[in-house]
Amino acid sequence: MSFEVKAADISDKPALEQLMQFYLYDFAEFEADEMNKSGRYTYPYLDFYWQEPDRHPFIFLSDGNLAGFALVRQNLDPTSNTFYWEMAEFFIVRSYRRLRYGAKAAKNLWRRFPGNWELRVLNSNLTAYQFWKPLIHNFTNTSYSETKEEKGIAFCFEVQPDQGS
């Protein structure tokens, strides 16, 4: 099977919106989110990923079929006045999980955006923690920090331009 991480252009937006429904449905297990009266979940930031230069939408394809998505954004840390990348949202379709697509996609995105990264996981999402911690641990050769926050854990690490090549 082939696997591809593709920058999503505006023509990919309807597919990403549909994938977002599956993601938000799954995520409702960890953080309460109500459907609207049309039976859909809302994600108010999606349009910004085609409007703002510091936001980047991606779709994942397996043999040309939708396999997931990621939303990456750049933020400014007001305390240090430095920029960092954040994996705002990340999703692998259930039928493609456990095929290492999540690891392939994450590493691909980290390499595309070298620099400082922050990735947050909710305390209640143990599966996500078990996925991200060893992946970050191995990718960074143990050079990361893990900080307890009110709602979860923040992983902070730096990606070099040629890291993991």
Task: Give the model's pLDDT for residue 17.
Answer: 96
Whole-number Cα distances in Å, 133 to 26, 72, 121, 126, 157: 20, 18, 10, 11, 12
Beta pairing, strands 144-148 & 65-77: unpaired
Task: Give the model's pLDDT for residue 18.
Answer: 96
CA distance between the termini of the chain: 21
Tell me which fold the domain 3-159 belongs to: Aminopeptidase (3.40.630)
* Contact predicate 91/69, CB 8 Å: yes
3-state secondary structure 106-157: HHHHHHHCCEEEEEEEECCCHHHHHHHHHHHHHHCCCCEEEEECCCEEEEEE
Task: Give the model's pLDDT for residue 164.
Answer: 64
What does the alpha-carbon distance between residue 8 and residue 93 come to, in Å, rounded to a whole number? 17
- Looking at the DSSP assignment, which residues form a beta bridge with residue 7? 58
Task: Give the model's pLDDT for residue 55.
Answer: 98
* Domain definitions of the chain by residue range: 3-159
- Looking at the DSSP assignment, which residues form a beta bridge with residue 60? 5, 68
What does the alpha-carbon distance between residue 4 and residue 126 come to, in Å, rounded to a whole number? 27
For residue 42, the SS3 value is coil
pLDDT along the chain (165 residues), means of 10: 95 97 86 75 93 98 97 93 96 94 97 96 93 96 94 95 72
Task: Give the model's pLDDT for residue 105.
Answer: 97
CB atoms within 10 A of CB 70: 23
